Amino acid sequence: MAAPARRLCHIAFHVPAGLPLARDLQRLFGFQPLAVREADGWRQLALRSGDAVFLVNEGAGPAEPLYGLDPHHAVPSATNLCFDVADAGAAARALAALGCSVPVPPVSMRDEQGAATYAVISSPAGNLSLTLLDRTGFRGPFLPGFRPVPSAPGPGWVSHVDHLTLACTPSSSPKLMRWFHDCLGFHHLPLSPGEDPELGLEVAAESGPGGLRLTALRAPTGSAVPTLVLAESLLGVTSRQDQVEQFLARNGGPGLQHVGLYTPNIMKATEGVVGAGGQLLTPPEAYYQQPGKEKQILAAGLEPSLLARQGVLLDGDRGKFLLQVFTKSLFAEDTFFLELIQRQGATGFGQGNIRALWQSMQEQAARVQEA
């Protein structure tokens, strides 16, 4: 591996000036302002909930935003993942030697709270760039060049980023898996016993051709980097786009489709999100009527009717459970969304939940296309 990632520092978004993403992250999901920078036509606001940090870059300017790259993308989207590395300069040189494009060579930033060095590389995943950051010499709350923003403690609904899901073009997952392995040290994480890394986990459509392929990647041992999930459509002839195809069309290519945010109490978090006006995907009615589902929910110490009312999915057995709920898109283009996830001993993603998400997103995609 050329530049092993040690930790996810933040996820950056690029949106037009005036788009209420930063406000929605605060109002709907409990994120709190951490630091801000306003210069060169950009307003960059870092928001935090637990260890999850989002950097919202608003506007556009003659210069690149600090710690990132202006993607000049036609639609608002999540465009950058920032990883902590041991030596940003050495990492950039090693990746360049592998043939990676380095649009922002190593840059050193300094203010009264210390110094940090970063470089930005292009990834093969559409408009997604990666920032390699070394901030061991910085003592402030975020990064040099940003002004700290005092804020009250948030509700604590989110503690950290659990996983990141990239929507990919058909048959591209093996190539992307090798790139993340060679460049950042990620390894295949099986989602089912005996899974072939080249094939991943295939979720077939309930009727007709098509379906979904998921390939999970684990960061280097000892790092604090979320799981990376590659999602692509299975080739098939259908009259309607599935949710991955729709994302590719509306986003203008591959990219970060959703972020899984870990919550220590999904029922409380979901209640807070809905109470603040957040919109969640509605699971298929049949999900809660599956044979054994009520017993499974009760075994987890939860009330089936409450999960159904709040749209929370549950999968697992033998005392290990996984609970998930998904938001509708944060953007009018119906692309990027968030997931709230709670684990009670479970480490995977639950094939039953994957199929339920597939079906609910198919139904949502159909409603959007018909609108």
Q: Rounded CA gap, 54 and 322, in Å? A: 24
> What is the reported pLDDT for 278?
96
pLDDT digits (tens, 9 = 90+) for 123-146: 999 999 999 999 999 999 999 999
| Mean of all residue pLDDT scores within the chain | 90
Res. 369: pLDDT tops 80:
no
Total-model pTM: 0.93
Inform me whether the pLDDT recorded for 187 exceeds 90: yes
Q: By 3-state DSSP, what share of the chain in percent is helix, strand and coil, each rounded to 5?
A: 25, 35, 40
pLDDT tens-digit readout, 222-255: 888 999 999 999 876 455 677 889 899 999 999 9
DSSP result, 336-354 = -EEEEEEEEB--S--HHHH
Given this model, what pLDDT does residue 197 score? Answer: 87
Distances (CA, A) of 110 to 15, 90, 113: 27, 19, 8
Residue 211 confidence class, pLDDT cut points 50, 70, 90: confident
The percent of residues in the chain predicted with pLDDT above 90, rounded, is 69
Confidence class for position 72, pLDDT limits 50, 70, 90: confident
Contacts of 308 (CB under 8 A, 6+ apart): 283, 288
